[in-house]
Amino acid sequence: MNHDMSDFTYLTKEGFDRLSAKLKELKTKGRSEIAAAIQKAREMGDLSENAEYDAAKDAQGLLEMEISKLEHTMSNARVLDTSDMDSNRAYILSTVKLKNLKLGKMITYTLVAEEEADLKANKLSVKSPVGKAVLGKEVGDVVEIEIPAGTVQFELIEISR
């Protein structure tokens, strides 16, 4: 069975551990807090016009959705060991230096899983247009990236880990 790389969520060990801890907290503390809120609302009497009860049930629905989304992410997660990777190509956790050929401007991004993306820290999701374009490319490759303003060409100048 050939898996497309985009079926998986690639995470660093830290990212995986963080999601794991969050999932555990939602399943334990999160669920028990909501159960308590539902119980408290039940004790207030008539459920048909009980706003607290409705709010607690809505919160429960959202929590369960978040839990199942996280479980899905975790079950498709691949924890990356950067030492296994071919450093001649851009992969997740690569830091890529790109040159905007039109402007001659350099930009540097670290490619990360969507869950770890943070533009302020120059961490770019591999599912973003730039991330998708440079994934698997080598130094010297020129990629074309569609942005709202048109197509921009970037040359991959450097790849580091």
What DSSP line would sit under 84-115, residue for residue?
A: GS-TTB--TT-EEEEEETTTTEEEEEEEE-GG
Asked if residue 62 has pLDDT above 70, the reply is yes
Provide the whole-model pTM.
Answer: 0.55
Q: How far apart are CA 145 and CA 141, in angstroms?
A: 13
- CATH architecture for residues 5-79: Orthogonal Bundle (1.10)
Tell me if 110 sits within 8 A of 94, measured CB to CB.
yes
Asked if residue 6 has pLDDT above 80, the reply is no
Q: How far apart are CA 152 and CA 26, in angstroms?
A: 42
Q: What's the whole-number mean pLDDT along residues 23-40?
A: 94
Which tokens is 16 given? Answer: 């995986």
Tell me if 37 sits within 8 A of 56, measured CB to CB.
yes
pLDDT at 24: 94
Amino acid code (one letter) for 141: D
Cα 25 to chain centroid distance, Å, stands at 19
pLDDT at 1: 41
pLDDT at 86: 63
Which tokens is 11 given? Answer: 């995470």
Output the average pLDDT for the chain: 84
pLDDT band at 28 (very low <50, low <70, confident <90, very high): very high
Which tokens is 125 given? Answer: 């999701």
pLDDT band at 3 (very low <50, low <70, confident <90, very high): very low
Residue range 113-157, pLDDT digits in tens: 887 888 888 898 888 888 888 888 889 999 998 877 888 899 999
For the chain, the structural domain boundaries read 5-79, 82-160
82-160 fold: Chitinase A; domain 3 (3.10.50)
Cβ neighbours around 103 below 10 Å, total: 9
